[in-house]
Amino acid sequence: MEAQPENKKHPLRWLLIAFMPLFFLAKAAYSIWRAFSRAREKGFLTRDIASKESFGYRKEKRVVEVSAGIPITATVFIPSGEGPFPAIIMIHSWMFWRLQCDALYAPSFARKGYVVLTYDVRGWGSSGGEVSCVAPEGEMADLEDMITWLVSPESGIPVDSERIGVTGVSYGGGHSFLIATRDERVKTVVPMSGWTDLDFALMPNGCWKPVWDLFLFVGALWAVKFDPKNDLVRWLRAVLSNRGLSEVKAELAQRSAIHSVDRVKCPVFIVHSWNDDLFEPNQILKFYEKLDVPKKLMITNGMHGIDGGRGDFPVPNIVWDEARKWFDYWLKGDIENGIEDELEVTYYQPWTETMECADGWPPPEAKPLRYFLRQHSASTSAGLLDLALPADEEPADLIVNNTVGSLHSSGLPIVRLNALWGLPIFGTPFSVSPDSVSYTTAPLTEEKVMVGMPSVELSVSSLTPECQINALLYDVSPKGFCKLVTHGAFMADEIEEDSICELNFELIACAYRFKKGHRVRLVLCASDPIYVFPSRVPSLYKIFHTPQVSSSLTIPFLEEKAP
């Protein structure tokens, strides 16, 4: 029988088989890069197709000496034509330079006929001086000087001095809030991911946020010029030596728009996000409620500075689309662009991945529902959340502060997993006394939607004058899986011995849907070191829930709309 020749594949064929997928993958990546490069060159992504007017523009680099004698490096985008044009001043984020605004935000406004001024804030980029974090006589005075220069004949720029707006992301958002309280030449502001209460941002309810605070400080080492007398250095020294910012509260108040909200006279459009754990949304929402001017609020989903910070790269961005409409209305008088017909508030709804609308903040249909903390077993770590007050005396629950950590955590700071495709932050499904105590509702008989700030009102006694309580709110599935919804922390430092004090504080605002059959769980513990540094004083705390001395959780649930 004749032998069959051995069927061997040539090595070159194997090489081609392996190479071809890599080749097509590389070609696809190159084609995507080339397409977006051409789109940016031609302004395809940012071009308003419906616009009847599109301006060419030129860029000029300028160096302006402000009244403090510091040189400030700036870029000016000037539309083609005679003008005068409305102007928008854009301020960059912390650790960034004006190039952020030059590349991502300014060109789209220049094409629409706006003069755009960007500049390196003192201490950053190629500007002189050192950062002092929006000091009234520092960065804020610089911003006012830049406005004065921009509208002066000396600049040679065709600007309409009666039509000036300010915007920025994060650090720029803080500038935008503050300039609205100081300079009436500014006719509207659009702060994005900024702060209104710097003390609360750095130390919410007296608790130090170590990861964020150290990240911001280390990122600014170059900008503080390694000056031991710099404001940021003094603040950090105060935290490390005194475990607080009490000695610099006056300085922080000067840098916080919440204390002068009544001075805001111009229209304000605020952009923020649910998952901003640097400048939590609570302070923004409180500022918004106090504003007595034309206003608009957009709450997105992303982490700090992400949604507004990317501009229109790589695809158009609803945040900046709405910002351009807002500026067009208030600076160009475009009264037909739909702003007047829109509801005042839009917010991201995670379970549908859509933006919902509300006629004001808090949403009129949000009604508080109060659950009382109850005990229902011999274990002090397993309690009940009930709509009724305890009928009988119940023993207090015990929590220990070991000054290190707890079984429970609010998840990674900075990178919030629930902002990334709705990834859950899983929680410990149980509490172990005295590490923590938990209180859980009965299974919900109907779906409940929470929008806003939950709050806890606790009756507490402490072995020591210092007491830190961390509260974590969970969604518990019928199978017992826990998903963190939101959290908060509070530090009290003057509790009297043998007394019961009330600790009332809010958890971070969010939008969340509890499904039918799920349960709501509140966990209380003494530390959450990933979010806030724990109290360094070993202690025991008691949580009371009796008919006379109650503790409770309040949740803003939306009432069902009539069909």
Looking up tokens 């290190």 gives: 404
Report d(CA 183, CA 254) in Å as an integer.
15
Tens digit of pLDDT for each residue in 319-355?
999 999 999 999 999 988 889 889 999 999 999 999 9
Ranges of each domain in the chain: 50-196+265-358, 366-558
State the pLDDT at residue 416.
Answer: 81
What is the pLDDT averaged over residues 180-193? 97
Fold of 50-196+265-358: Rossmann fold (3.40.50)
* CATH class of the 366-558 domain in this structure: mainly beta
Mean pLDDT of the chain: 89
User: Which tokens in the block code for residue 433?
Assistant: 């006394």
Confidence of residue 511 (pLDDT cuts 50, 70, 90): very high
Tens digit of pLDDT for each residue in 446-493?
999 999 999 999 999 999 999 999 999 999 999 988 999 999 999 998
Q: Say whether the peptide bond before residue 534 is cis (omega within 30 degrees of 0).
A: no
What is the pLDDT averaged over residues 506-524? 97
Report d(CA 98, CA 533) in Å as an integer.
34
Q: What is the DSSP letter of 155?
A: G
State the pLDDT at residue 358.
Answer: 95
What is the pLDDT averaged over residues 526-539? 91
Max distance between CA atoms of the chain, in angstroms, equals 104
State the pLDDT at residue 178.
Answer: 98
State the pLDDT at residue 1.
Answer: 46
CA–CA distances in Å: residue 444 to residues 124, 214, 449, 478, 519: 53, 41, 12, 10, 6
Q: Assess contact for 528 and 472: CB atoms under 8 A.
A: yes
State the pLDDT at residue 8.
Answer: 52
Tens digit of pLDDT for each residue in 369-381?
999 999 865 544 5
Tens digit of pLDDT for each residue in 405-458?
898 989 888 888 887 777 777 778 788 889 999 999 999 999 999 999 999 999
CA–CA distances in Å: residue 157 to residues 85, 91, 189: 9, 19, 21
Q: Which of 220, 326, 348 is nearest to 276 (CA)?
A: 348
Tens digit of pLDDT for each residue in 125-163?
999 999 999 999 999 999 999 999 999 999 999 999 999
Q: Assess contact for 115 and 158: CB atoms under 8 A.
A: yes
State the pLDDT at residue 180.
Answer: 98
Question: Could you tell me which residues are beta bridge partners of residue 59?
Answer: 77
State the pLDDT at residue 9.
Answer: 52
Q: Which spans in 139-209 are helix H? A: 139-151, 171-179, 198-202
CA–CA distances in Å: residue 429 to residues 196, 442, 476: 36, 16, 8
Q: Assess contact for 381 and 432: CB atoms under 8 A.
A: yes
Q: Which spans in 51-105 are helix H? A: 99-104
Q: Which residues contact 79 (CB under 8 A, 6 or more apart)?
A: 55, 56, 57, 85, 110, 111, 113, 114, 115
**φ and ψ at residue 389, rounded to 5 degrees:** -65, 155
State the pLDDT at residue 4.
Answer: 47
Q: Kindly report the pTM of this predicted structure.
A: 0.88
Report d(CA 469, CA 472) in Å as an integer.
10
SS3 state of residue 350: coil
State the pLDDT at residue 412.
Answer: 82
Burial of 335 (0-12, 13-18, 19+ CB in 10 A): exposed
Report d(CA 165, CA 322) in Å as an integer.
14
Q: Which residues contact 334 (CB under 8 A, 6 or more apart)?
A: 325, 328
Tens digit of pLDDT for each residue in 53-94?
678 999 999 999 999 999 999 999 999 999 899 999 999 999
